[in-house]
Structure 1
Amino acid sequence: MPEREEISPGVAVRAVDRWRNGVSSHEEDLIAEEIPIAMVYNGATFAVMMASPHDLDDFALGFSLTERLINDASQLLQLETHALLEGIELAIQVADNAPGAHLDKERERLLPGRSGCGICGTRDLENAVRHDGAVGNGPTVSRDALELALRELKARQPMNLATGAVHAAAWADASGRILHVREDVGRHNALDKLIGAIHRASVDVDSGFALVTSRASYEMVTKAASAGITMLAAISAPTALAVELARSAGITLIGFARPGSHNVYTHPGRLLSAASD
């Protein structure tokens, strides 16, 4: 057990009775936090997401962009974080010409967005399955660069190393060097946080690729497309709808990305067999 001051944000300490090899012991364990976070735009609640309570500036920006509540980062004018008894409220002020400035009952979520659900409570099929425009050309990336990013990511997940219960989304440059990592109990929240982080850092999305420690479900591809990300590598499997959306958006979708192996489902031309190809 690490010292209390060394515990990562988003991690809580809880008592546990541990049973090992016929012996019981009462100990403290590190557990991932998961709390309700209300996304409030110009005074109107849009959704309540179950998420890890850290990197909330990045979460607010990335969520606003991928949910199309703002058209670009400049439309997010102010963010205030309010700690409440029930959870956290993110009071987000957006420009008057932003889509999220004047929410109505047709835009708000009917149900909370649970940590494993990207669109819980969405009212209609048009909002559930979005078809964003095609992404740009993006970089070409060697398989060696993908392998390097996979190796680097294992050591860049403090919350998961402590708890074994959270996902990560990472941004790597074309050489495979990881520049940004965000973690969350929800895979889609982690990607939203990453998208917010790379926007805040003014990262050129044509300069690298995203890597996620989860399956590549369709909402992950949709979020990547909305951010202009041209290559998305997932450690687990894609869904059929994710493959079709990646194909139509021009995204290179990689699944089962593991040391020494991976599957390329769409637009394989961006992935080279060697750095010199």
Structure 2
Amino acid sequence: MGRLIRRVKATKVNITDDRRVVREEALAVEEPLEIRLGHESFSVTMRTPGDDFDLVAGFLLSEGIIFEPEQLISLRFCAGEDENGQQTFNVVEAQLRPDVAMPLQAAQRHVTTSSACGICGTASIDAVHKSSHFGVLAPVEEVILSASVLAGLPDTLREQQKLFEKTGGVHAAGLFAPDGELLSLREDVGRHNAVDKVLGAAFREKQLPLSNTILQVSGRASFELVQKAAMAGVPILSAVSAPSSLAVELAHSAGITLVGFSRGNSLNVYTHPGRIG
């Protein structure tokens, strides 16, 4: 975890007796990643280093640029050094198949994206209502998951968050099978990055559409996370916190079962509850 954690000194203050202790703390690293399509810069996102190829693949999938592995010819790190002459690994170049069409809003999408926002800089809210090439293939009427299994997913996710265990400062996204088995997990300072990483890994392994999986996230369910689930054909998105109103609207129209406040023995199902037994 050398590139994922940075150690800094912090003064711990005890309010009751004003006792102060200087000690070393482990923090999750946050660095910019520039994504290039060919030799052209396309986007810059703030992320935790690691699984960068998965991140780029998932980002391009979520943007609607690619939808099958054959469209992504190669991914490679471009040369770049920090002030100490060390390779930064902060620029990834994606080579796309020549027939891959760039979206009309691509020129307007070139902005710096923070670790808190996955769709900042998109030209308009209408532009992110992209049509998935897969759709949500699992019938809404088909019960594919029990409520008890669903309620247990956040605990399973938390138990496997190794970077969070050391820093307490990252989000996680996990893909689960209907029986609750954890299929894959990714962590990042940005919740949208964690989702891109886990979906990008599935994309690169030729596992899409993810029509018989559950996407569990550690934070809230925002609009862009529902969009990413739709682009990968994920039928159920579950979050430990609240969804936004726009997330609920998109989940309803996309046929996604959206779950929020999944904690302990209760959860809220906002859309398409027929999938939950």
The two structures have a TM-score, normalised by structure 1, of 0.88
Deviations 1:208-255 (A, max 9, x none): 211001111111100100000000001110111111110111000000
Q: Note the 1:9-158 alignment, pairs <5 A.
A: 9-20=3-14, 21-82=17-78, 84-85=80-81, 88-100=90-102, 106-130=106-130, 132=132, 134-137=135-138, 140-158=144-162
Larger deviation: 215-224 or 24-33?
24-33
Larger deviation: 215-224 or 20-29?
20-29
Deviations 1:16-56 (A, max 9, x none): 12223532222211101111100100111111001111111
Larger deviation: 256-265 or 144-153?
144-153
Structure 1: gaps (5+ residues): 1-6, 273-277
Moved over 6 A (4+): none
Counterpart CA distance in 1 for 2:125 and 2:59 is: 19
Letter in 2 for 1:94: L
Tell me how far 1:96 sits from its aligned partner: 0.5
Letter in 2 for 1:95: R
CA contact (8 A) 1:32 1:185 kept: yes
CA contact (8 A) 1:132 1:225 kept: yes
Residue 163 of structure 2 is matched in structure 1 by 159
CA contact (8 A) 1:11 1:30 kept: yes
Distance 1:110 1:40, change over 3 A: closer
Letter in 2 for 1:117: C
Percent of matched pairs sharing the same residue: 36
Distance 1:231 1:8, change over 3 A: farther
Letter in 2 for 1:16: A
Tell me how far 1:202 sits from its aligned partner: 3.7
Letter in 1 for 2:34: A
CA contact (8 A) 1:182 1:191 kept: yes
Distance 1:157 1:106, change over 3 A: closer
Residue 239 of structure 2 is matched in structure 1 by 234
Tell me how far 1:199 sits from its aligned partner: 2.2
Larger deviation: 84-93 or 66-75?
84-93
2:198 is aligned with 1:198: no
Structure 2 counterpart SS, 1:168: strand
Tell me how far 1:168 sits from its aligned partner: 0.4
Residue 180 of structure 2 is matched in structure 1 by 176
Structure 2: gaps (5+ residues): 83-87
Larger deviation: 160-169 or 129-138?
129-138
Deviations 1:107-163 (A, max 9, x none): 342430110011122223432444547411166100121133222111111111111
Letter in 2 for 1:34: E
Tell me how far 1:8 sits from its aligned partner: 6.4
Counterpart CA distance in 1 for 2:254 and 2:129 is: 13
Residue 3 of structure 1 is matched in structure 2 by none
Larger deviation: 127-136 or 220-229?
127-136
Letter in 2 for 1:160: F
Q: Note the 1:212-251 alignment, pairs <5 A.
A: 212-251=217-256
Structure 2 counterpart SS, 1:256: strand
The two structures have a TM-score, normalised by structure 2, of 0.88
Deviations 1:52-84 (A, max 9, x none): 111112111111111112131221111111363
Distance 1:69 1:131, change over 3 A: closer
Distance 1:84 1:105, change over 3 A: farther
